Homo-oligomer: A and B are copies of this chain.
Amino acid sequence: MKLKRTQNCGALRAADIDSEIVLSGWVENRRDHGGMLFIDLKDRYGITQIFFSPEEDRALYDAACEIKPQSVVSIRGIVRPRPAENLNPDRVTGEIEILAREIEILGPSETPPFEIIDDLDAAEDLRMKYRYLDLRRDALRNNIIFRHRAYQATRAYLSEEDFIEVETPVLIKSTPEGARDYVVPSRNFPGRFFALPQSPQIFKQLLMVAGFEKYFQIVRCFRDEDIRADRQPEFTQLDIEMSFVDVEDVIAANEDLMRHLFKTLSDVELPEKITRIPFDDAIDKYGLDAPDTRFDMTLVDITDIGAKTEFKVFTSVAESGGAIKAICVPGAAVLSRKQIDNVTKIAQDYGAKGLVWLKVEKIDDMLSLKSPTAKFFGADLQAELIARCAAAEGDLILAVADKYETACAAAGRVRLHMARMMEMIPDGFSVCWVTDFPMFEANEDGSFAARHHPFTSPTAETIDCLETDPAKVYSNAYDLVVNGVEVGGGSIRISRPDVQERVFRALGIGDSEAREKFGFLIDALRFGAPPHGGIAFGFDRFVALLLGVDRIRDVIAFPKTTTAQCLLTGAPSEIAAAQLAELRLATVKKDAEK
């Protein structure tokens, strides 16, 4: 490198005219205007126009004509004003250009496999393979730079609030959700494995037992899940834990954090107090435990009305203790039969047998329902339904009749779908806490699984149902939901060993299994454990939300595909037989291949 940059490509202004400078960067494009060559030279900081004149220096001009776009060059030249007709007010360096005197090619470029522009339609596989080129696009690079700011703002705030950043191990013991652990064979202890953490949960609890009181970490976590859109096998978590706190304390501290980050990073003012929605209400009104509160159109329970109709689907569900959940979509009576059929599919995807639709018409100044189903409703029931749903002329009422949980879930999904279709979702952010979660979910075989994780504390009011009726136990857990996406979740943890053992038993984890897997945690709770709790935020998702970006792989520098591959480097790959032998491992063929 002979020519070393004196400025960056975003620095020069009219005040610099006549100075000799050196710029370095990427050749963004090259334009030949009747024998005069212009190059836009770009670096992280900006773009500066370079001018080559064949009259001034023929050899230099000829050399510049040969440079391919995306090549890296240094250019020595003189800053000069642009002619008045070429001023570019959209660019901070738009008043000037550089009259080139010398050029040094630092890194020539071949023709890239796709054009490096922001509205790019190259195949994603190709962009993943050449991720270093994709990252040259302003849109993607700015996401990563925004993410950098998010790290700094988060850590600065938490440090100021007296939280201590502690790194926890990546090579850990296999955890309760062990089946989804990535594992790492031990060379020193053949046949044994480390696991990669799905979260630093147990270590942060141990830090509370150790007396750190306030901990945080922005930390990589791992989950070997089956393919799901927009999940990554490695993801980043903002992990927080506090001692001597109850639910109110953790919520208050994290509301302050969120308020600070939304303001600092995106200039968004969150409300003074963030709405809280108990889990049961969230299900009842939104159908989902991560309600999108940017718009209303909440679920209306019409079970009692349905019971009075002559519509068999409704009456039988009402009789068997199920529920009929409706939404009223403003202005959607215009939808075609085909459009409505597509909505029905959504309901079916989420377990409903079908979807009833009723259009609200006005005939002779009277609102009435129009639908193949309407005939089962008397005029009074039609009026009652219209009133219950606060429906107006031109609205569309959609209803799901099923088991309570299914009716809610399907109606909740239909609600989201209709809001998107009808463009009812405003810009901006709507944030809420979902609280008062049930402690357990029933498995199909009647056993129970932890809804959050087995270290979540039951509420004092319901703890005694642990042995008698686990479905009635509620937990001190809370989720933070932004625009219908769960971005964080946490709880007050169990800090007493006897309670931890009772919860393990309720989960069907026997005493000896509990001791083998979590003996060290139960032991730790015997030596002076403070009350403690915390939260973990999905940092990728959080950054994506703040940026208004749909996919988390657009905020990750080197993401993997949904099949957990790195197309850039070709990982995973085969390893040497010798290495496998040293680990005392052998690969096993599929049964079918035996």
Contacts and interface: CB of A to CB of B under 8 A. Distances in A.
Interface stretch (A76-84, A311-319, A336-344, A565-573): A565-573
A495 interface: yes
Interface stretch (A127-135, A257-265, A350-358, A391-399): A127-135
Given A183-B583, A206-B132, A589-B584, A220 B575 contact: no
Given A1-B531, A136-B210, A525-B107, A584 B575 contact: no
Contacts of A582: 179
Nearest to A529: B107
A528 B71 contact: yes
A425 interface: no
Given A183-B583, A524-B132, A556-B167, A173 B571 contact: yes
Given A207-B557, A525-B107, A234 B171 contact: yes
A574 B528 contact: no
5 contacts: A151-B155, A171-B182, A174-B571, A178-B579, A203-B558
Interface in A155-209: 155-156, 159, 164-174, 178-179, 181-196, 202-203, 206-207, 209
A418 to B, nearest CB: 36
Interface string A4-15: 110000000000
A545 interface: no
Given A132-B524, A520-B569, A167 B583 contact: no
Given A44-B211, A131-B206, A173-B573, 9 more contacts: A1-B531, A132-B207, A167-B220, A171-B233, A182-B184, A188-B227, A191-B587, A194-B572, A206-B568
Interface stretch (A85-93, A141-149, A266-274, A297-305): A141-149
A126 interface: no
A167 to B, nearest CB: 6
A255 interface: no
Contacts of A170: 170, 196, 220, 222, 234
B557 A183 contact: no
A515 to B, nearest CB: 11
Nearest to A71: B528
B527 A112 contact: yes
A483 interface: no
Given A189-B572, A575-B178, A588 B588 contact: no
Interface in A1-44: 1, 4-5, 24, 26-27, 43-44
A483 to B, nearest CB: 24
Interface of A: 1, 4-5, 24, 26-27, 43-44, 70-72, 74, 106-110, 112, 129-133, 135-136, 141, 144-145, 147-148, 151-152, 155-156, 159, 164-174, 178-179, 181-196, 202-203, 206-207, 209-214, 220, 222, 224, 227, 233-234, 236, 244, 246, 495-496, 520, 523-531, 556-558, 560, 563-566, 568-576, 578-579, 581-590
B244 A174 contact: no
Contacts of A133: 210, 527
A576 to B, nearest CB: 7
Contacts of A233: 171
A164 B145 contact: yes
A586 B586 contact: yes
Nearest to A186: B572
Given A171-B560, A174-B575, A192-B572, A107 B496 contact: yes
B574 A192 contact: yes
Nearest to A209: B132
A484 to B, nearest CB: 26
Contacts of A5: 244
B558 A179 contact: no
A233 B184 CA distance: 12
Nearest to A562: B188
Contacts of A527: 70, 109-110, 112, 130, 132-133
A573 B193 contact: yes
Nearest to A42: B211
A190 B587 contact: yes
B571 A211 contact: no
Contact of A188 (B202, B495, B564, B589): B564
